[in-house]
Amino acid sequence: MPLAVHYPSGSPPAGRRSLSTAEIRAVAAQARRQLLADPAEFALQLPGLVAAAAMISVNTKNFAVQWDLTQPLRDQSGRAVLGICDVDPAEPGWAYVSIDGPTVSRRPDLALSTAAHELGHLLFDVPDEMDVGSRRYRAVARSASALESVSRGAEGRANEFMGALLVPPVPLHTRLLALARGEGLRLARAPHEGRPASPVLAAGNPADVVAGVFAALAIEFGVTERFIAVRAARYGLVQGGI
């Protein structure tokens, strides 16, 4: 069965509809339910993501995806890049994703986050490009730092999807509270986007203890401590931000 998601969209190209952050996260939640092999676990697994995303259905539009995670990757100018998602109008019904194998071979977290970012392009950008059908589409993730962009464009949208897919707000909040209480960290009331009616991590806690909590969360979710810090800040789970 294809990985299937639904969301409000316009008619391409001029009618494309901008999605809110909440709508992007809702699509990530749809995908995560289909990708998480064990509901008791928090970390997605790269092989499962790639296998599930070999066929995709977006608003009932179906297409196949060829993934390559082994070869060195260069853009058209010969510069090393981390990931590429592209569509060739000469091959309708197919999309292609490549990730620089040598770069991610010793960084499973980077391989996973890059694949999740490219999945965002597959779900949000590729269907419209296939509908246009007269040009070659290509999205390039140039480096690991590019995966932190919060712009309003396609790259920022793919990054927000990636973050919410790998580390969604409610599971992160739940585990953060459990670990924080276990370490005796102070909690506070503040607006957030995590578990309803629950507190967040207060400002002014010992930095080394907070870092230890983030390290434990990074292991549970299969990402880096920096990734956890960015998502906690995006969801408002730490008073005053990170």
pLDDT of residue 11: 54
At 107, give phi and psi (nearest 5°). Answer: -130, 75
Helix and strand numbers, DSSP H then E, in the chain: 9, 8
**pLDDT tens string 9-65:** 765 544 567 899 999 999 999 999 999 988 889 999 999 999 999 999 999 999 999
pLDDT of residue 145: 84
Between CA 53 and CA 62, with CA 56 as vertex, the angle to 5 degrees is 155
Mean pLDDT value across residues 173-196: 96
**pLDDT tens string 190-208:** 999 999 999 999 999 999 9
Q: Judge whether 153 and 13 are in contact, CB under 8 Å.
A: no
Q: What is the rounded distance in angstroms from the CA atom of residue 58 to the CA atom of residue 9?
A: 10
Question: What are the C-alpha distances in Å from 117 to residues 90, 122, 224, 241?
Answer: 25, 9, 15, 24
pLDDT of residue 14: 47
